Structure 1
Amino acid sequence: MFILNETRVDPNRGRAALRQFYADASSHRYALHLTDTAELLRHILFLRDMNAGVFPIHPDIPASTAHDMAVTAGCDRIVTAEGLTNLPQTSPIGRGGVLVQMSSGTTGAPKVITRTWAQISVEVASYAVSFKEAQAMTPVIACPVSHSYGLIAGVLVALHRGHTPVVIDTLNPKFILRRLREVTRPLLYTSPAMLHTLAQLLPAEETLYAAMTSGTVLPEPWFVCIRARTTHLFQQYGCSEAGCIAINPDLRQAADIGYPLPHLEVDTGGTAQAPQMIHVRADGSEIRTGDLGYRRPDGMLVFAARQDDVIDVAGLNVYPQDVEQAALAQPGVEDALAFGIDDPMAGGRVALLIAGAGADPAAIRKGLQTRLAPYQQPGVIEQVGTLPRQANGKISRREVAKHFARQGVQAEMRA
């Protein structure tokens, strides 16, 4: 059972009709583009049990785009509210037995990722046994179940534990807060941006009981706000190819992304002074996450930067978070973003965007001289109203750098 908003739903209802609808399901890969969340979950759970191929597509994606995504993902059938449609596929690849997802595309073109239901079952069991703090909590899933975060970590782990998850498919923060107040020991799964919004909306005397964040390391201003308004704050870290990799059962530092799950081998070979690529080994395969980090002696995995975001200044690596943390320690700075720009002399140079009505770029430049090495010093410090964060709190440093290059920032560099 699960609850959608305020209505209890039996996912086994109508299974006889689904058996007729999905004839020979295990030999097909189905794209599901359904606007009814209860129906979407019923179809996913049924097709999982039939060992079919499943590609859930977010309902807000236009129908024509969803069709093209389904073809790209190797689906030979697409299911919508109008029914089932065959799709043109000529390659002889096996189509059943997998969950299909698209990578986020934050650092490049989205990729088609397939994982078997057997692999996901191992992940679910490992997640449940490792994350003991949540055993007595009720999952409240206020994020899309078409995404692995809401579907696997939220719904499938809850059902594995015998819990009745509460799925919320509205973005109305006041409704989410009301439902959290009505649930016993709620554990909220939602986006960093929604978590930040909820923390700001809470009355002074109230806190969130428990919350999980995922998808990006929380920006420091958001982390400070959320941590102060949440009794139990958790973080999970993962990637599309491996699923959830690590869980932090008591988030006290935003970059502490968690202890690796026991079914995975996770290594970096790095140190705090020289972080290295985070490698994950699962089912005999090695996955390069594209993230740099290191392991502390207690086993905690610590995030340093995306490899693509590291700024090469005359052969020396500058990690954007180091510059941002130094900037956030300056008076008046409420948010900060560091990224690389071209420099004909050094190859690369640091640029820094700051947000905050009381921030003074000249004073910040002076303050950074005592906190950063010379090669880490920003060549450009620009004050903006707000940083260009996506809905999940992420920022594409690559896109920001391109934008500022078009604005001629390189010509304005000043020491």
Structure 2
Amino acid sequence: MLDGEEGDSDEAMNDYANRPWLTSYSPKLAPTIDEVPFSSLGELVDATCSRFATKPAYSNLGAVLSFADVKRLSDQFAAYLVGDLGLAKGDRIVLQMPNLLQYPIAVYGALKAGLVVVNANPLYTAHEMKKVFVDSGAVAIVVLENFADKLASVVAETSIRHVILTEVGDLLPGLKRVVTNFVVKRVRHMVPAHDLPGGSAVSVTRWRDALASGARLGGVRRATASTTAGGPGVRLPAVGLEDTALLQYTGGTTGGTKAAIITHHNLLANQAQMLAPMKLRLHEGEETVIAALPLYHIFSLTVNALAFFAYGSHNVLITNPRDTDDLVKTLAKTKPSVLILVSSLAGALMENPGFRALDHSGVKLAVAGGMAVRSATAQQWREVTGGDMLEGYGLTEASPVVSVNPTWETPRVGTIGLPLPSTDIEIRDEEGAVVPLGEPGELCVRGPQVMSGYWNQPEPSAAVLRDGWLLTGDVATMAPDGFLTIVDRKKDMVVVSGFNVYPSEVEEVAMLHPKVKDAGVIGVDDDRSGETIVLFVVPSDPSLTEGELRAYLKGELAGYKRPTRILFRDELPKSNVGKVLRRELRDLLDDDTKDDDTK
């Protein structure tokens, strides 16, 4: 069994005194998951593609890939990476693109090749991209050409040697591919001019040429951790459960940019844990799932590209969920049974008359990830669709899902539900002692989904991983029946439309402006995005204007990290050791708001 702790027995997992959430489990939900029957994610992909070969696996922009297509194309890409580029097991490869058919092919191919995937948000600025590329030591990247200009400006300062450029329509059929790529580049002018390659040391290959090269190499030969592979084709390295699959960048529970080391075992376990309660309401090989969160976000990667994929579901990839009119058309055409989205997108959809007019009777599950669901949003969703929105909890360091509301009964709005099977939870005080039920404390997690540490960060790793437990930094309570509720943040992370924003990063960037003396950042509630950023600034030069500062931040920070409000102050409240007191910043904001209301 994949138990929450080494040496656990079935009897231990049924110790209701230590695991009160088990009393709330459905009788059909086992307290633990079975050991996964695969030694790597590549084996899971191949087995799934064999089982559901003729069924649709992914669709996007009107094109469909069957499971057999996914196997063929990911094998070709793996063959190219190993046989043509000569990449070795453990090399890091960056994937930077929105939800397109190319993404699952690239991630599966890279994992089959024994590479470590580094997901990069396409919204990153060149400055942010460079930080991730340099820290990870990536040697290759698959990037949508729309963002190649930013890559070109920094690639010479990184270890990247191979660039695979893809265009939006590269996996669309024939004429549709040509027309789509022409419109994106020549009509909508969405591909800025770039000068890749950035130097003689960098090779540049087109996506379709890479696949063609992999096909010419004759496919792949597979080896397992205990066997070698013979025969024709490119020999892939043996990949095992404890090999690293992802370096997933996050601010972490301790703040500051760092990469969680996520193994094949972590992801195989978490997709099985997440599927266990979903199977109580869904049917294998029959579901159509809307993937409205980007697959480079670890929630969507685990839930859509692994769990629902392994369940034989048809994942409908949404490239631009902000275009709600187009999304509504996709919903009407595909008639999904499962929606994976963030609550801010749910709010936008409910404001769309077309969405309200749809027949929602076929939707079995709506799962909100990436950010908290407001009670008002959950209530409105029920009124509009007649169904429930399931909220859960996760963090990158747990691959990422930790808990979810029940699928077998009405969810408890305002809670993050019950721990997943094979997941242990403790709520601890500042001294590390477990607090009584109902009392707040730090949420601590133990289970097979917990990361092995942060990449090249031994001290932060030791700070959050203790005796097999992950200290999340979030303050929670546990009810007598095991339901969990997040009540506060031990740290100051802000969640904007499902993306983590760490105040210290925004403050650091702001203070690099020559006219900024000091900066402080807080998050405030927002009906659309969950939270937004407010930046307090102490100018060192009185000529500094808000417009000047905004223009600077636009070049340094991704859009979701930029402040919606900038407030100038003569000084910021600080502790006796010089730390900005964010609680007092909130008081300043409240006073500022009151002043505005009285004008």
TM over 0.5: yes
Instruction: Give 1:44's aligned amino acid.
Output: V
Match of 1:88 among 147, 154, 159: 159
- Give matches, 1:11-410, under 5 Å: 11-14=70-73, 15-22=75-82, 23-34=86-97, 37-63=100-126, 65-80=128-143, 87-88=158-159, 97-104=244-251, 108-136=255-283, 137-171=287-321, 172-201=323-352, 202-203=355-356, 207=360, 209=363, 210-230=365-385, 231-242=387-398, 243-249=400-406, 252-268=411-427, 269-270=434-435, 273-283=438-448, 285-308=468-491, 389=526, 392-395=529-532, 401=583, 404=586, 409=591
SS in 2 for 1:175: helix
Which structure has the bigger radius of gyration? 2
Q: CA contact under 8 A between 1:235 and 1:249: conserved in structure 2?
A: no
Q: CA deviation at 1:272?
A: 6.6
Q: Give the drift of 1:212.
A: 0.7
Contact 1:180 1:186 in 2 (8 A): no
- After TM superposition, the structure 1 stretch with the greater mean CA deviation from structure 2, 79-88 or 44-53, is 79-88
Identity in percent: 20
**Cα deviation 1:291-320 (Å, max 9, x = unaligned):** 2222223322222222347xxxxxxxxxxx
In the alignment, does 2:59 pair up with 1:3?
yes
Q: d(CA) in 1 for partners of 2:371 and 2:92?
A: 30
Question: 1:238, CA displacement in angstroms?
Answer: 0.6
Residue 77 of structure 1 deviates from its aligned partner by 3.2
Distance 1:249 1:5 in 2: 33
1:198 partner SS: helix
Query: 2:440 & 2:481 partners in 1: Cα distance?
Result: 16
- Whether the 8 Å contact between 2:78 and 2:113 is mirrored in structure 1 is no
Contact 2:77 2:105 in 1 (8 A): no
SS state at 2:425 partner: strand
1:258/1:300 contact within 8 Å kept: yes
Shift of 1:152: 0.8
Q: Is contact 2:381-2:388 (8 Å) kept?
A: no
Question: What residue ranges of structure 2 are gaps of 5+ in the alignment?
Answer: 1-56, 161-241, 428-433, 449-466, 493-523, 537-581
Give the deviation of 1:187 after TM superposition: 1.0
Amino acid corresponding to residue 370 of structure 2 in structure 1: G
227 and 290 in structure 1: CA distance in 2 versus 1, 3 angstrom threshold: farther
Query: Equivalents in 1 of 2:426, 2:485: separation in Å?
Result: 11
Distance 1:143 1:96, change over 3 A: same
Instruction: Output the CA distance in 2 between the equivalents of 1:388 and 1:112.
Output: 27
CA shift at 1:64, angstroms? 5.0
- Post-superposition Cα deviations, 1:23-78, rounded to whole Å, max 9, x if no partner, equal 34423011122457222221101112233200121223244532331212343433
User: Any unmatched runs of 5+ in structure 1?
Assistant: 90-94, 310-386
CA distance in 1 between counterparts of 2:436 and 2:333 reads: 45
CA drift at 1:206: 5.0
With a CA cutoff of 8 Å and minimum separation of 6, indicate the structure with the bigger relative contact order: 2
Change beyond 3 A, Cα 1:291–1:192: same
Aligned length: 331
Secondary structure of the residue that 2:443 maps to in structure 1?
strand
State the shift of 1:118 in Å: 1.8
1:205 positional shift: 7.5
**Which residue number in structure 2 is paired with residue 373 of structure 1?**
none
